[in-house]
Every structure is written in structure tokens, then in C-alpha cells.
Chain A
């Protein structure tokens, strides 16, 4: 056969070698069977893709919902952070602000949990406070999720658990485990270098989404800077006397199991450390570095009249040396890799088979809040502030978190 002959039909023209001349094109009167099968297969594959997307959506929607925080007997008002700065209204940066007002004159304290969503002792202490405590003197304002956006996702490639579950006294309780930083769907792209607005300090680009590098914030700044500005505005408007920011850090981090205090807050912090030591809670005291900018203890101390302090506990799930990561590790605070590191003398805190369980970390934070308020009241007897009903360190160690949730 002469391969150079003219095409037998228009189907032959332009077809690659080996393509059957009668391959379906769908241009004949009715679609050929092969074309119909092709369309059916395409629709089936498209359906599978859409089903995979749909499977993810409920988890995404759940991540955006606030978890239930039950108003305790001491909560006198629940407000929204956007009341102090409307620029965050309707965004995932807006969050509940719980007010515990004794109705008696005194000082005002602000307790921040959840500045970093992957530091559960911080926000769980704030939640335990809201659900169990009441102000006995002065008033205490509590923000359990200072960076609510950071609770809506987890850190990339860290294998973080999504949820922490407890059988609490009021039923089964589920709390999210979040990220150190604002969700990139709320703020992106990250710059190569993050420049802190008021100081010009340069940090790694990802720190642009770290609330504790964004203070005092800007009304027209990034999403994270606007959250910081809202908190700063609250501190100014409510004439907050004392800010306590609750955090966690990895066991190898030098500043752990410690209170970090602005220079104006050193007297109050020293008194608190002494009070804690009397209760056999060993805790360090660190001055707020003047050249590390954007942190709550530095900027709120400089930009407002409040005494600013930050508390750290030891959390293995944040560390670079950790082994298998999961909710159990977060709650029990044990890790065989950290045990080995401790035996090699590589950690900043004592570490044994008991680890640093969440109940102990929350217990330390709760005790620190109580001790700081007591120390402030001792130094300022005319402006007392205190809590009642806050579980003690001994209570939490003996009974765990569950009876208080």
C-alpha cells in the first residue's frame, strides 16, 4: 500500500502515526461509544476529586468555629476584642474577652492565653480561669485565644495533633491545638525579612505572623499587627495595671519555667517568684531584653502604663528533639528522646520519666497568675486585685485538669 496516498477521510488528516482513522471525535451525528465512555470517565474522576475536596471542608469549617468556653460564676461580661479596635471586626482575629469584675475597687489585670496556639498550657489556664474563678478584688480580664487565627491551623510539617480531648467534669471537652503563628490564609505572603514597625528590628520572614513579635501593633498594619494593636488599645482604654501573657517553650530553650518581666514589673515579678518558691514551685526570673522588640513584656511595658510579664512552662511537643508527636505527648509531657537529652545534660529544665504533664504546666501557670496578683497587691495595697476559685497547683497535680473543665 502506498503510504503517501491522500487521506481517505478528514479524520486521517493531521492524525499522528498509529492513530486509527476511525477514532471517535464526537462530530458525527451521535457521539460514538468511545467518546461517551470518555465523558463518563471524566465526570467520574471529576466527581472523585470533588468528593475529596468535600471530605476536607467539614474539618476546615470546624477549625474556624470557636470551641465552647463555659462562662464560670465569676464572669460578669463577655465582650469582643473588636470593641477596642473595630478594624478586626468580622475577621478570625476577633475573639472573646471575658471580664471578671469583683465590683470592688482595685486594679485591673489582663491575662492572655493563646498568643501561640501550639502552647496549650497558656490557653487552657485561661479557660480554667474563666470557667472556675471569680475576681475577689479589682477586676481580671481574660483573653483565652489572643491570636484566634493561630488556632485555626497547625504548623506545616510538624505532625501536630488537631485536637486535645478530656473527659471533663461538665462532659467531654475538646480543645484545638493550633500553631505558633497567624493562619497564612489570613495573612500572606510572608516577606523574606520581617521588619518590626516601630523599632526597625529585622527578623525571619515567618515572624511577621507571630503575635508576640507584633506589639504594640498598628491600626493599618498587617493582620497580626492589627490584633496586637487591638490588645494594646484594650490595655490603654481599660487602664490595665498588669498584663500576664501565658506561654510555653521547649525544654532545651534557655527561658523556660520562668517569668519574664519588664523592668518596671521586676519588683512584682520578684515577689511572685518568692511566693512560688515558698510553695515549692521552682521558677526563674528573666528581665525583658531591651533589644528584643515586639514582645508583649517589652512593648506593652513601654507603650502603656501596665506592668507586663510573661510566663513560660516546659512543653516537649514544641521541641526540636522530640520523638513521635501527638495529643498524648502534649497531655502527658513525656518523651524518650528528651529523657536521653536530659541524661546528656542538654536541657534547660530537669526532665525525668514523669516529664512535664499538661496538668503540671497549667498548675504552674495558675499558681504564677495567683502569685503575681498577690505580689502586685502587696506592693500596691491601695489597688488590690485577686482571684478566688482558681485551682491551686496542688489541686491540679493531685486531681488533674478534668475536674476543672
Chain B
């Protein structure tokens, strides 16, 4: 795995953590759902699946 790929995956994983924290801190169900939708591609990118 190249250095740039490692950096990319760390950034994606960091974004996943931030969005999960946001998901738990939000009160409205719409905001939670939005965070959940944002999470899907972020996790896929962190895993380099899609």
C-alpha cells in the first residue's frame, strides 16, 4: 500500500469517526439519518471497497 493510500484511508477513517460523533450528538431524526447516509460511502472509501 502506497503512502498516499495510507494517508487517504486515514483521512477517510477520521471522517467516519467525526460523522459517527455527529450522528450521536444530533437530536433530530432527520439529521441522524443524514449522518447515517453520509457514513455509507465514507466507510466504503475507508475500506477501499467502492
Contact = CB atoms under 8 A, between A and B. Distances in A.
Contacts of B35: 45
A49 B48 contact: no
Contact of A49 (B26, B27, B29, B36): B36
B26 to A, nearest CB: 8
B29 A41 contact: yes
The interface residues of chain B, by DSSP majority, are classed as helix
Interface in B17-50: 20, 23-24, 26-27, 29, 32-33, 35-37, 39-40, 43-44, 47-50
B3 interface: no
B23 A45 contact: yes
Given A45-B33, A46-B23, A185 B48 contact: yes
Contacts of B48: 185
A49 B27 CA distance: 18
Contacts, number: 41
B40 A42 contact: no
A183 B10 CA distance: 20
A334 to B, nearest CB: 31
A57 interface: yes
Nearest to A38: B27
Interface string A35-68: 0001101100110111011001100100000000
A60 B45 CA distance: 12
A46 B29 contact: no
A41 B36 CA distance: 11
9 A-B pairs with least C-beta separation: A45-B36, A49-B39, A49-B36, A42-B24, A60-B49, A45-B32, A185-B48, A52-B40, A53-B43
Contacts of A188: 4-5
Contacts of A60: 49-50
A122 to B, nearest CB: 26
A112 to B, nearest CB: 27
A15 to B, nearest CB: 13
B36 A56 contact: no
A60 B4 CA distance: 22
Contact of A46 (B39, B44, B49, B50): B39
Interface in A275-308: none
B24 A39 contact: yes
Interface residues of B, number: 21
Contacts of B4: 188-189
A57 B47 CA distance: 10
B44 A56 contact: yes
A217 B49 CA distance: 27
A185 B9 CA distance: 11
A46 B36 contact: yes
A91 to B, nearest CB: 11
A367 B4 CA distance: 46
B32 A53 contact: no
B32 to A, nearest CB: 5
A39, A41, A188 interface centre (most CB from chain B within 10 Å): A41
A45 to B, nearest CB: 4
A184 to B, nearest CB: 9
A56 B49 contact: yes
A41 B32 contact: yes
B9 to A, nearest CB: 11
Contacts of B33: 45
Interface string A158-187: 000000000000000000000000000100
A37 to B, nearest CB: 10
B19 to A, nearest CB: 9
A102 to B, nearest CB: 43
Given A41-B32, A46-B20, A53 B27 contact: no
A65 to B, nearest CB: 14
14 contacts: A38-B24, A39-B24, A41-B29, A41-B32, A42-B24, A46-B39, A49-B39, A49-B40, A53-B40, A53-B47, A53-B49, A57-B49, A60-B49, A188-B4
A48 B36 contact: yes
Nearest to B20: A46
Contacts of B26: 42
A55 to B, nearest CB: 10
